[in-house]
């Protein structure tokens, strides 16, 4: 019975709530983990939920436990509405102390080294060759991630009609089906995007997607992750870099330059500014810089 409810709930999330396929897949994993834990029980009590929470606390981070319970709570609300199933979450709240974790960033110097290596490699291979085309594509991907703060899923989903290189604009479909307009204003980034679009024009037109892999199909998020690991290794960068770290760097570096957090909220496509406030931490380097330049003691002349 519960598996049928789960399937229907996931369909509801995808078709009615317009959640992304990645989010629906993650919900399914969380719900089936709970189904496995209850081992066929059809009466879900608060005590059973509490036992599940205790089992998670021993193996998962607080943030993961909180996410799994949020999914479970939403599922039971759906089951209560649709099937009149008793909701064990009614008048029952779980308190989970969530540890605050600062976002992992790619330092600006590291991003510069990564891009420098890519552009240098372009000068060492035959122009318009397959190797050259891959280098241009990878540089365009990294440049766009850093220039806009896009999620990797948003970047890979860009269609030919979404991006206007001439105007330096891209219409992005974010979480929950929300769209936002992002801007690309740096001349070097626009230049590499134009070169990429020219080289891959045939595949772009054929697939309808802007970013294409080496066999002419839409580029996937996993391919981007693998590419970044490979390019970082070639640049002799020891840091483990993920696509999402470019998004964190984009937001944090803009904030450190004095950009209003409300603008950053819009750039990132956050529906609530509370989500964006994770970036209000200031790096150690910035703290030292502020104290060196702003502290009044620096202007005191004491014999």
Over residues 122-179, the pLDDT tens digits come to 999 999 899 999 999 999 999 999 999 999 999 999 999 999 999 999 999 888 788 9
| List 66, 180, 244, 281, catalytic entry | 244
Q: Is 279 a catalytic residue?
A: yes
Select the more confidently predicted residue: 33 or 86.
33
Whole-number pLDDT of residue 94: 64
Measured in degrees and rounded to the nearest 5, phi and psi for residue 25 equal -65, -40
Residue 157 is encoded by which pair of tokens? 């989903």
Q: Is 247 a catalytic residue?
A: yes
Q: Across residues 264-283, what is the average pLDDT? A: 82
Q: Is 83 a catalytic residue?
A: no
Domain ranges of the chain: 2-83, 108-286
| List 68, 231, 248, 270, catalytic entry | 270
Q: Is 77 a catalytic residue?
A: no
Q: Is 60 a catalytic residue?
A: no
Whether 94 and 28 have beta carbons less than 8 Å apart is answered as no
How many CA within 13 A on the CB side of residue 78?
20
In this structure, are strands 169-173 and 179-183 parallel, antiparallel, or unpaired? Answer: antiparallel
Q: Is 78 a catalytic residue?
A: no
Whole-number pLDDT of residue 277: 82
pTM of the predicted protein model: 0.68
**Over 70: is that where the pLDDT of 282 sits?**
no
Whether 128 and 199 have beta carbons less than 8 Å apart is answered as yes
Select the more confidently predicted residue: 227 or 177.
227
Would you state the torsion angle of the CA atoms of residues 230, 234, 240, 244, taken in this order, to the nearest 10 degrees? -60
**What CATH code would you report for 108-286?**
1.10.443.10
Measured in degrees and rounded to the nearest 5, phi and psi for residue 51 equal -65, -35
**Over 80: is that where the pLDDT of 203 sits?**
yes
Whole-number pLDDT of residue 55: 86
């Amino acid at each position: 019975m519960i598996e049928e409810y789960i399937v229907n709930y996931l369909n509801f999330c995808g078709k009615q709530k317009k959640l992304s396929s990645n989010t629906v897949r993650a919900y399914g994993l969380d719900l089936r983990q709970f189904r496995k834990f209850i081992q066929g029980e059809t009466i879900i009590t608060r005590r059973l939920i509490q036992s599940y929470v205790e089992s998670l606390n021993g193996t998962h981070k607080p943030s993961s436990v909180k996410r799994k319970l949020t999914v479970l709570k939403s599922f039971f609300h759906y089951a209560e509405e649709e099937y009149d199933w008793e909701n064990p979450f009614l008048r029952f709240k779980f308190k989970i102390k969530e540890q605050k974790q600062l976002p992992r960033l790619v330092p600006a110097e590291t991003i510069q080294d990564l891009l420098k290596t890519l552009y240098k490699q372009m000068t060492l291979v035959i122009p318009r060759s397959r190797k050259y085309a891959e280098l241009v594509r990878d540089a365009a991907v990294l440049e766009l991630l850093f220039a806009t703060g896009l999620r990797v899923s948003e970047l890979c989903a860009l269609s030919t009609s979404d991006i206007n290189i001439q105007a330096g604009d891209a219409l992005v479909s974010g979480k929950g089906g929300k769209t936002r307009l992002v801007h690309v204003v740096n001349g070097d980034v626009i230049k590499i995007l134009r070169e990429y679009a020219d080289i891959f024009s045939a595949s772009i037109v054929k697939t309808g997607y802007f970013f294409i892999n080496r066999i002419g199909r839409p580029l996937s998020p996993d391919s981007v992750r693998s590419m970044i690991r490979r390019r970082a290794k070639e640049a002799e960068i020891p840091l483990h870099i993920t696509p999402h770290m470019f998004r964190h760097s984009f937001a944090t570096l803009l904030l450190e330059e004095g950009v209003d957090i409300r603008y950053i909220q819009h750039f990132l496509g956050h529906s609530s500014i509370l989500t964006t406030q994770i970036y209000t931490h200031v790096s150690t380097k910035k703290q030292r810089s502020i104290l060196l330049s702003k502290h009044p003691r620096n202007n005191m002349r004491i014999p």
